[in-house]
Structure 1
Amino acid sequence: MTERPGRDTVLATAPDAALDEALDAALHRLRLNGAIFFRAEFTEAWSYLSPHPERLVEALHPGARSIILFHIVVDGPCWVSLEGGERLWAESGDVVVLPYADQHTMGGTADAEPVPITDLMDPRPWTALPMVRHGGGGAAAGIVCGYLHSSDPLFDPGLAALPPVFVVRPPEGPAAQWIQASVQYAVAATTSAEAPTDATSVRLPELLLVEVLRLHLRSAPTIGSGWIAALADPVLAPALAALHADPARRWTVAALAETVAVSRSSLDERFRQVLGRSPIRYLTDWRLHLADDLLATTDRPVAVIARRVGYESEEAFGRAFKRRYGASPGAWRRTRTP
């Protein structure tokens, strides 16, 4: 029997106004696509192992760079952990989020050997919301699992804006009630013979994740590093705004430092401290992120995309792109589009 730790309550301070405004802006422009894709009823003792992210992407959204997983705990308790990581506990009403779909293990209060989740599911295509049942027949735990896809930098593994796994506990009140009602509606709609196909049912996973992210980011006691921290940083916020507004400009550290009225050394130090890379390295990553999105969502020629994101020649763009993604822009585009 694994001893379950107590539930510690973290009282977060009110968010800084700049961070609050930046979060609203970031969440408002998110582009998400996805679905609630299976329900699970586990009984003690139970544990499962998820596939590697590459296999999940291939199965659920071929051509995507990554996907976002979330698990809504209907009946608990249960835990989740990444390889070599600590166990994070969740109870009824909590939402487990894996923004980069890292391979993970979930289980109950009793020890059990993890079983690959793919061994417990019927093969696709599914005509109804799949139901997974597994365990030793003891106390029950119910989970609704979903995935989404987004090309937004918030979910770019390379920028690592979010922790690889976190648990959101909606506070009692409207938010928790809305999440619970939305899950009940989604499950009923997906399993009904007269399942609605309106925009509300299609967008439920998107709306759920945005609300969960809002709760997580606003209640976190500190967000000391990463892209989210940079959004509210007095030095990085205007620097990122300048780079994002004109990525094709021939930026130098000196020019960017002059734009935000700080020294070159201070700017470079702040980028490395919060974002883990130099200003020019961040600019390169951002340009390639934009190029990836343009290759997947437009039919613009590669040479046009190269100029759009700041490369003077298609050859230089191709070399940089292949270093990052392991394939030429043309070959990558063929894997990213239907």
Structure 2
Amino acid sequence: MDVLSRLIELARLQPTLDIRCRLQGAFHIDHEPVAAGTLPFHLILGGDCLIRLGSGREITLRSGDFLLLPRGDAHAIIGLRPRGEMQPLRVTTGGMLPLRENGQGEADVDLLCGHFDCAPGSAALLLDSLPDVFHVSLAAESEEMLKTLVAMLYRETAEEKPGALAIITATCLSLFIMAVRAGKASPIASAGLLQLLGDARLGKSAVAIMSSPALAWTIDDLARHSAMSRATYARQFRERAGMTVGAFLTDIRMMLASDLLLRTRRTVADIAAEVGYESEAAFGKAFKARRGITPARYRSAEQARQTGQQ
């Protein structure tokens, strides 16, 4: 399995579609900030609109655009073609998804609004590498594939056949993966995991670490995987990843450990050995430094949180 697929699997992303919006003219819809572990997203099926963040920053979204807010920031959806007075919004709930409209006839924007829930610990490395506003034009990734996926979303939303919601949410996850993959090749952030994975040579060392996290990796070992000198590798790694090789290795181990703590009943000592620590004490110290809590308390707290959500 490639590194990006493995990171997305570990993040345990669960997409939920909240509402479909078909809007025209003047409109302004506020979204409050959400808790950590919840990532709001908007997918533009057709037309365009404006996203205004709490900071005042404005982003124009057009057909085929995907926008994710990894930190759950407050934002507003605003019309780009105000005509006359703002019409009242109405929400109908008879279909598969709630539908928000504000007029009759052709809409200026057709968008899906939803969110991803994730496992914060094992998703940290992936999400921390994303900017506060992750905005990607999926049309640039693969126009034909995008058209196929959007056509599927249109059809499944309109026809509401059995299983349609499962297909739509799975498609949204696919679109998220396409967005992250597209982001690897674009300068959406100055440094981070995506920049590292987008580097053909440095990415090889990330694959090596992910494949064998328990090995006692040295910079020399990883430099050989990337066919670089030790000094060049260390410098370029820090420039691309925004962190040292040692910090990245620790983050990978903590991410894998977080997943094992939640997904299995293995002892903390077993998990420590699995991710490359010779003693439970050393692992516990490193884990607390990254997560602010001991492994045992992390496990119990996350289990309690998940039980409360059910």
Return the TM-score normalized by structure 2: 0.74
What does 1:30-45 align with in structure 2 at a 5 Å threshold? 30-31=8-9, 32-45=13-26
1:203 aligns to 2:166 (yes or no): no
Write the distance in 1 (CA, Å) between the matches of 2:153 and 2:298.
Answer: 36
Alignment partner, residue 217 of structure 2: 251
State the shift of 1:39 in Å: 1.6
Write the distance in 1 (CA, Å) between the matches of 2:72 and 2:99.
Answer: 22
Matched to 1:84, the amino acid is: S
Contact 2:70 2:132 in 1 (8 A): no
What does 1:147-296 align with in structure 2 at a 5 Å threshold? 147-149=115-117, 156-158=126-128, 160-161=129-130, 164-170=133-139, 174-188=144-158, 192=160, 195-196=162-163, 200=167, 203-214=170-181, 216-217=182-183, 220=186, 225-258=191-224, 260-296=226-262
State the shift of 1:52 in Å: 2.7
Name the SS of the counterpart of 1:102 in structure 2.
coil
Alignment partner, residue 266 of structure 2: 300
Out of 67, 72, 82, the position equivalent to 1:97 is: 67
Write the distance in 2 (CA, Å) between the matches of 1:155 and 1:312.
Answer: 23
State the shift of 1:170 in Å: 1.9
Name the Cα RMSD after superposition.
Answer: 3.8
Write the distance in 2 (CA, Å) between the matches of 1:208 and 1:259.
Answer: 31
State the shift of 1:168 in Å: 1.3
Matched to 2:170, the amino acid is: R
Alignment partner, residue 116 of structure 1: none
Q: Deviations over 1:58-100 (max 9, x none)?
A: xxxxxxxx34443122453212244436422123x32222162
1:143 aligns to 2:111 (yes or no): yes
Contact 1:36 1:186 in 2 (8 A): no
Q: Deviations over 1:184-204 (max 9, x none)?
A: 234236xx4x63279645523
Matched to 1:51, the amino acid is: E
Contact 2:125 2:252 in 1 (8 A): no
Write the distance in 2 (CA, Å) between the matches of 1:250 and 1:178.
Answer: 45
Name the SS of the counterpart of 2:257 in structure 1.
helix
- Structure 1: tracts of 5 or more residues without a match: 1-23, 58-65, 112-119
Return the TM-score normalized by structure 1: 0.68
Name the SS of the counterpart of 1:36 in structure 2.
strand
Out of 29, 41, 44, the position equivalent to 1:73 is: 44
State the shift of 1:274 in Å: 0.7
Alignment partner, residue 60 of structure 1: none
Write the distance in 2 (CA, Å) between the matches of 1:277 and 1:180.
Answer: 37
State the shift of 1:253 in Å: 2.8
Matched to 2:287, the amino acid is: F
State the shift of 1:141 in Å: 3.5
Name the CA shift for 1:155/1:263 in 2 (closer, same or farther; >3 Å).
Answer: closer
- Structure 2: tracts of 5 or more residues without a match: 83-89
Matched to 1:209, the amino acid is: F
Name the CA shift for 1:290/1:79 in 2 (closer, same or farther; >3 Å).
Answer: same
Alignment partner, residue 97 of structure 2: 129
